[in-house]
Structure 1
Amino acid sequence: MDGAIKAFVFDVYGTLFDVAAINKECEELYPGYGEKISRTWRSKQVEYFMLRQLMGSYATLYSITHDALKYALNENDLQASEQNEQQLLEAYLHLPLYSEVEKVLTELKDNNLVVFSNGSHDMLDPLVKNAELEELFNQVLSIDEIKQFKPTPESYQYALEKLELESHEVLFMSSNGWDVSGAKSFGFQTAWINRKNLPVEELDLDPDYIFDDLNGLLKWK
């Protein structure tokens, strides 16, 4: 099916940008707790947007990220302040790219490259801009436009309509197993960027491709 790919669609958090790197800023503000805060922060961020999807109580990912941060601080009995919270939320707009990302995207720039994220534009657009990736992507798509989080079928349908392609012509990639499973269930070709060497999700939806990082995409260069 390789020849049918007409769009390379990228998840953002954990796929292009290293979310775990936020532990550095957490450690600076709360010495000895950086890793604990960052780990809970990310897990609650994912849990909260999935719960809000199930409950029908949509909030932007920026708002959810703030709530998840407050939970992470409370869990560790740490004093929260508006200044500290804003400093950490600002750091989320300056997450570092994984080392190979810019090189791989540059080498694939003659293709139709698209971002598709659960991030709302108020956090997604600054992140892409701060990393100087704007010129490499043809579109930056956010589920905030339809208020349906991935991995709902409606979210992937929205992306497909924006791409104006058939589902099998899309290669969707993410480091998140749940996102790859959702995209595969919808009908996209999928590439799991398995940065943590994890097992495949037990959902009978194996990825079409599994790569350690984005360098595996260079087969389509």
Structure 2
Amino acid sequence: MPDVVFDIIGTCIGYDVMLNAIESRLGMKLLHYHINKYLFFDAWGTACERDFSYLSQIGDYQPTKKILKATFFRTLHHAGVPDPKSFATEEDLDYLCAEWLKLKARPELAAMWKLLRDNGFTIWCLTDGDKERVKGYFKNSSIEMPEENIVSCDSLKIGKPAPEVYKYMLEKIPGKGKDAWFAAAHMWDCRAAKKAGFYTAWTDVYEKYPCEEIFGEPDIIAGSLIDMAEKIVQKYESL
């Protein structure tokens, strides 16, 4: 039976809750410095992902929620705020980190997973987020996901995109060859999974542009989540 391993945060779980939180807490102050909330959030999240990956590479793995909190004021500094710790308070940061726990599924997620399951696919989750937080996202969205099918890098003490993470998933799932799929909205994630031996599917719901000139081509490039699921089923049946 075929398996699909999904990246979670950014792919299955959207960022609208966090963007709204930034707007409500810091929106007017960001505008004073001509800082776009979307760019600020992207810079903050990207800084978190980078430091998470770098620390993992040097053998000093630390959870993403700790890194997210630590990089907040630094991101404000790089965004052009002269005195970040006067601009925002620890209470502001605590509020935003609490809202990070309230993220919800993208609207198409339940229907996408149903389509795949109806066609015989087993769904897995592979995340840099901690397991309890990811379980909370599904609970926030009234979506059921078997706990045993959620794999957090916290349990491995090494983060994506380290090759060992994807190899671990290949060994964990029963699917091999054409039965093993990896789906993500991050091209770097797809690239790493493909090198490990997965068939890969990328959706443009987050990055929009695949930048194939640096990442190469995944097996599937899709628009919406539903489009990605339909293309996975079609591609699998044609292999």
Question: In 2, Cα distance between the equivalents of 1:18 and 1:160?
Answer: 26
SS in structure 2 opposite 1:183? helix
Give the counterpart of 1:14 among 10, 25, 42.
Answer: 10
**Alpha-carbon contact 1:184-1:190 (below 8 Å) kept:** yes
The structural deviation recorded for 1:204 is 6.1
Taking the aligned partners of 1:138 and 1:121, their CA distance within structure 2 comes to 10
1:68 aligns with 2:71: yes
Is it true that 1:198 corresponds to 2:177 in the alignment?
no
Matched, 1:29 2:25: yes
Q: In the TM superposition, what is the alpha-carbon distance from 1:206 to its structure 2 partner? A: 1.4
1:40 to 27, 35, 43: 43
- Count of residue correspondences: 217
Aligned residue for 1:198, secondary structure, equals: coil
Match in the other structure for 1:57: 60
| Mean Cα deviation higher: 98-107 or 39-48 | 98-107
Alignment correspondent of 1:124? 134
Distance 1:136 1:105, change over 3 A: farther
Matched with 1:86 is: 94
SS in 1 for 2:213: coil
Look up the match of 2:237: none
CA distance in 2, matches of 1:161, 1:151: 16
C-alpha deviation, 1:21, in angstroms: 4.8
Residue 25 of structure 1 aligns to a residue whose secondary structure is helix
Q: Deviations over 1:141-180 (max 9, x none)?
A: 1111111111111001121222133254211010101001
Check the 8 A contact 2:56/2:62 in 1, yes or no. no
Tell me the CA shift for residue 97 of structure 1. Answer: 2.3
Distance 1:160 1:74 in 2: 41
CA-to-partner distance for each residue in 1:21-71, whole Å, 9 max, x for gaps? 522111111123233431211111211112112322210111122223332
Q: Which has the larger radius of gyration?
A: 2
Indicate conservation of the 8 Å contact 2:17/2:99, yes or no: no
Q: Quick one: distance in 1 between partners of 2:140 and 2:46? A: 24
Q: Does 1:99 align with 2:83?
A: no
Contact 1:26-1:37 within 8 A present in 2 as well: no
Moved more, 75-84 or 166-175: 75-84
**Aligned-pair CA distance for 1:127:** 1.7
Of 174, 177, 201, the match for 1:164:
174
Deviations 1:65-105 (A, max 9, x none): 22233322343343343322221112112223222222212
Structure 2 residue aligned with 1:177: 187
TM-score, with structure 1 as normaliser = 0.87
User: CA separation of 1:164/1:25 partners in 2, compared to 1, >3 Å: closer, same or farther?
Assistant: same
In structure 1, distance between residues paired with 2:105 and 2:165:
25
Kept after mapping to 2: 8 A contact 1:94/1:131? no
| Structure-1 separation of matches of 2:136 and 2:71 | 20
Q: What CA RMSD, in Å, does the superposition of the two structures yield over aligned residues?
A: 2.3
Long gaps (5+) in structure 2: 31-36, 235-239
- SS of 1:16's partner is coil
Runs of at least 5 residues in structure 1 that lack an aligned partner in the other structure:
none
Aligned to 1:213: 224
